[in-house]
Amino acid sequence: MNGIEATRQIRAFQPRTEVLIFTMHGSEPLIRELLEAGARGYLLKSDARRFLIAAVEALARHQPFFTGPVSETLLSSYLANSHAQGDALSSRERGVVQLIAEGRTNKEVAQLLGINLKTVETHRAAAMRKINAHTSADLVRYAIRNKMVEP
């Protein structure tokens, strides 16, 4: 299970639980998806020495926490993409693409996400249409470019 799915499940079963993401990855697609999953704080490991205690204290007060670099990434992304919002992949489509890029079959994706095989195929087709992909290799390249998986 990846951090996105773990965050979704934590928030689904314990909605008042605050989730702080502690990672070395600061890519906009990852930050966005984790926030959509319910994370309320995002801390880069490179900033941990200065901000870990402040992050935990902020979340304990049920306040969000983001360091400067993460806030700048979010702001830049928002400003750049505010007019093209309709073309972005949904969080479920991103999850399906990520698992496919990790080498999972549609059937395995359905089992992992707890959804119907036909639903996986629908999300996969929608994602492929949105990113203009024609093959599974196109999906893998997209996932790598957008830091959804490691090359």
Q: How far apart are CA 9 and CA 28, in angstroms?
A: 22
CA dihedral 138, 38, 2, 108 (to 10 degrees): -60
Question: Model confidence over 77-122: pLDDT tens digits?
Answer: 777 665 444 457 888 999 999 999 999 999 999 999 999 999 999 9
- pTM, to two decimals: 0.52
Where does the pLDDT of residue 28 fall: very low under 50, low under 70, confident under 90, or very high at 90 and above? confident
List, as own/partner pairs, every contact residues 23-28 make where C-beta atoms lie below 8 angstroms and the sequence separation is at least 24, other chains included.
25/147, 26/69, 26/70, 26/73, 27/73, 27/146, 27/147, 28/73, 28/74, 28/76, 28/77
Within the chain, all domains assigned CATH 3.40.50.2300 are found at: 3-85
Within the chain, all domains assigned CATH 1.10.10.10 are found at: 89-145
Please give the CATH topology (third level) of the domain spanning 89-145: Arc Repressor Mutant, subunit A (1.10.10)
pLDDT > 90 in the chain, percent: 54
3-85 in CATH: which number? 3.40.50.2300
